[in-house]
Structure 1
Amino acid sequence: MLGIEHPILLAPMDLVSGGKLAGAVTSAGGLGLIGGGYGDLDWITKEFEEAGNQAVGVGFITWSMLKQPGLLDKTLELGPKVLMLSFGDGTEAVQKARAAGVKTLWQIQRLEQAEMAIKAGVDIVVVQGQEGGGHGMDRGLTALLPAVRDLAGPDQVIVAAGGIADGRGLAAALMLGADGVMMGTRFWASNEAVGPDAAKRQLVDSKGDDTIRSKVFDVVRGLDWPWHFSGRVVANKFARKWHNNIEALQENADAQREVYEASDPQDYATRVLIAGEALDLIDAIESAEQIVDKTVSQAAALLKNGANFLAR
């Protein structure tokens, strides 16, 4: 469907998955997606230029995109290979993208959301488990993924996301019913990702046990996220202070926002560091090409040796 060599997609991480990283993943044989996030068109346009002549896609936080009339139309004019929609009703956007000849992805966290995406005619359903970094819900990938496959039938293209950072995750996802995987945190810790080296080093030094799903950083940053979505982040001093006392944080949101914004942007005891449970599997900052090559090589070896699990 996508004309790619390897079934690996870059998650469109807001302000992290820039054109350089997206282009590098595509160059390595996967497909890179630029993180359109909340919808900064100037940033998105610049990052498409950074991708050079590599075919890349773009992903949006759907509820935020829908608040900005004209954003989708202007983005489609940039010629993305795919459009990914997450967190909201993407039906209208799927129709617009189809009319523009652009393939679509819709990320879901519940079976009812998968039904909506399939009904809208989406090309690829992205099944996101709660293990993933950033926003999501609370269902684990290993039960949700095969359930979506059973619901969707054999012909629907499905991609797995959440907690996948190496070839073991890719091989397992294929056995659970996916056609490919989408990786975020693993590519965050890459040479090409947008962001400071301090953040990437922190990712390498942190573990999955250090992460939590929380509303703290939505509240303190004044982000109007639907309440049923929470964000998986590395639990730092600020998050631990307020995680179990969200109501008090809401009551003091203005004052705490001043504290947050006054901190050094690389002070990760205060500032948010978005990451998933796959941190345990990341021990180095590498190039996107190295990450893709290692992932597919490991998955291929595992799949080839799968017959060894059968009794002779």
Structure 2
Amino acid sequence: MALRTRLTETLGIDHPVLSAPMDVVADAKLVRAVSAAGGFGILGGGYGNRAWLAQETAKLAGLRQPFGIGFITWSLAKQPELLDIALAAKPAAIMLSFGDPARFAPDIKQEGARLICQVQDEAMAGQALMAGADILIAQGTEAGGHGALRTTLDIVPAVVDLAAGRVPVVAAGGLADGRGLAAMLTLGADGVLLGTRFYASQEAAGADEAKRRICAAKSGETVRGIIFDLSRNNVWPAPFTGRCLINDHARRWMGREVELLQQVERVSADYMKARTEGNFEVAAVIAGEAVGLIHDIPPAGEIVARIVGEAEQILAGRSNSSRLPRNGTKE
């Protein structure tokens, strides 16, 4: 059975699987690999490094498959001209997260790109729909990186109900395999967006040690809070906090955030040094609760194929089981 949804139709893709626009980690190489496999790769525009964005969008020139470019909305507002660089690359969609998209929606639509908005509650979803969002991503707190407090199991059906069929809804947060895709489709979502699973892929631009740590981590070995934001002197607006793997630095400062803030200059210097040196007992590995489901570092295309194949089998089995009589024997 083919997993054709409103999402695949809207974006012109084969499979309802999107890779998250992880800052720096989701570079052109990862985007190309995911899109070539029939998914939808999204370049990680992140906080807006002009040189990096120009470099990576140039590498996407000539890509036949649809792809997207994602930004942190409140950060893009400080450098709105970066949207012009992104739109010049002719993406099929621009993804905006963490802030009101209304300022940027007209320019995105005028260039013929779809507007994807990631939201964490119904108020944000309503705001995105008012701005003209073509696709909503309902992000649960299990997601790696920045997010809020609603769980994926809670926020996805809530946003599906709010959207009421007007636009496709994509689920994000704690998902890494075909079981997650099948479950979210059953909840009414039209696809999934995955970050941590694609971080641990051969094409992702993350450090090898970070990928190894994701594979070694067990369920429950991540933490959400403000420690790594304070440590890099980059405090986010409420209600957004960050999730990463637990390490020595997180253990040291959990419950002592006020003290960390008082020592932020020294801590920030040490933290940036650790990032440069690849010391991930201090520097954060941005990862979500899906780490317990991730045990290898395959090509991104293989990840897409695995997830879709497993979901197809699960949903086909569910369909077959629904035709069984109550005594468990086939009719």
Shorter-chain-normalised TM-score: which range? Answer: over 0.9
Distance across 2 between alignment mates of 1:31 and 1:283: 23
Name the structure 1 match of 2:4: none
Distance across 1 between alignment mates of 2:145 and 2:277: 18
Distance across 2 between alignment mates of 1:139 and 1:187: 23
Name the structure 1 match of 2:118: 107
Name the structure 2 match of 1:192: 203
* 1:193 CA drift (Å): 0.1
* 1:310 CA drift (Å): 6.5
Give the superposed CA RMSD.
1.3
Q: Which amino acid aligns with 2:30?
A: L
SS in structure 2 opposite 1:208? coil
* 1:51 CA drift (Å): 3.3
Distance across 2 between alignment mates of 1:237 and 1:19: 32
Q: Which amino acid aligns with 1:187?
A: F
SS in structure 1 opposite 2:220? helix
* 1:74 CA drift (Å): 2.7
Distance across 1 between alignment mates of 2:144 and 2:116: 18
8 Å CA contact retained: 2:60, 2:89: no
Aligned residue runs from structure 1 range 221-300, under 5 A? 221-263=232-274, 265-300=277-312
* 1:287 CA drift (Å): 0.3
Name the structure 2 match of 1:219: 230
Deviations 1:54-103 (A, max 9, x none): 23210000000001132212321222221000000111211210011111
* 1:155 CA drift (Å): 3.0
Name the structure 2 match of 1:305: 317
* 1:260 CA drift (Å): 1.4
Name the structure 2 match of 1:155: 166
Equivalent position to 1:11, from 9, 15, 20: 20
* 1:150 CA drift (Å): 1.1
TM-score for the superposition, normalised by structure 1: 0.97
SS in structure 2 opposite 1:79? coil
* 1:52 CA drift (Å): 4.8
Distance across 1 between alignment mates of 2:85 and 2:44: 15
Asked if 1:41 is matched to 2:41, the reply is no
Deviations 1:213-261 (A, max 9, x none): 0101111111131031110100111111112111111111001112212
Equivalent position to 2:133, from 94, 106, 122: 122
Distance across 2 between alignment mates of 1:296 and 1:105: 22
Q: Which amino acid aligns with 1:67?
A: K
Asked if 1:164 is matched to 2:175, the reply is yes
Distance across 2 between alignment mates of 1:275 and 1:309: 37
Deviations 1:246-280 (A, max 9, x none): 11111110011122123353111101100000011
8 Å CA contact retained: 1:265, 1:271: no
8 Å CA contact retained: 1:208, 1:276: no
8 Å CA contact retained: 2:226, 2:235: no
Deviations 1:183-202 (A, max 9, x none): 11000000000022111111
SS in structure 1 opposite 2:223? strand
Name the structure 2 match of 1:144: 155
Distance across 2 between alignment mates of 1:230 and 1:282: 23
Distance across 1 between alignment mates of 2:17 and 2:52: 24
TM-score for the superposition, normalised by structure 2: 0.92
Equivalent position to 1:30, from 22, 39, 51: 39
Equivalent position to 1:178, from 172, 175, 189: 189
Distance across 1 between alignment mates of 2:29 and 2:269: 33
- The answer for unaligned runs of 5 or more in structure 1 is none
Name the structure 1 match of 2:221: 210
